[in-house]
Amino acid sequence: MKKNLIAVIAFLFAANGIFAKNINFQIVQNNPGTEEVFVTSYLFEQAMVDFFFESGHIVSNSPAIIYSDETGDKDELKKALVETTIGSMDILVRVFVNYDQVNAKNPKVFLLELVKSVSWKSYSGSTGKLISEGSLLPGPIDSTNNNESGIYNFASLAASKISAGLKNAK
């Protein structure tokens, strides 16, 4: 009995290692005209790292940035891909937190209502090729989720969708 239990535990650890990936994240705050990364963007980053780390992956992150324009974003993508390659990471996931540009002015507030949507693009760390992408809208927002906890839960839901996309892209 004890040998069987040890064999099962060893198998579970080995199976986790087979599916574990080295994942690098970059949060892209899509709120042009702002100069400071919002605390909400950092909370998204933390939720991504927590979700994938708890799923058994090795996780890193490139610095969060503010989307300026298409040209600047292409340059930032190149930098993040270089960081991913140098860090020997398998995948780069760029998460775009798209803000309500009219109302999102205070970088220090935790309000889910300021997030219009989240989208992501995942790239192979070795080739730079796009391997999956998707987007997610926040559900109904009320006083129970228009706060730090609601943002973290929404970001965690996005992380689960990203994870499913990465599994399907194999």
Q: What is the pLDDT of residue 16?
A: 43
- Give the integer Cα–Cα distance in Å for 157 and 31: 21
Start-to-end CA span in the chain (Å) = 36
Angular region, 33: left φ>0, alpha ψ -120 to 50, beta rest: left
Tens-place pLDDT, residues 20-68: 899 999 999 998 778 899 999 999 999 999 999 999 999 999 889 998 7
- Give the integer Cα–Cα distance in Å for 123 and 23: 10
Quick check: 124 pLDDT over 90?
Answer: yes
- Give the integer Cα–Cα distance in Å for 18 and 149: 32
Please state the rounded mean pLDDT for residues 94-104: 88
Pairing outcome for strands 115-124 and 130-136:
antiparallel
Cβ–Cβ < 8 Å for 124, 56: no
Quick check: 4 pLDDT over 90?
Answer: no
Q: What is the pLDDT of residue 7?
A: 46
Q: What is the pLDDT of residue 18?
A: 45
Q: What is the pLDDT of residue 34?
A: 84
Q: What is the pLDDT of residue 170?
A: 61
pLDDT mean across residues, the chain: 87
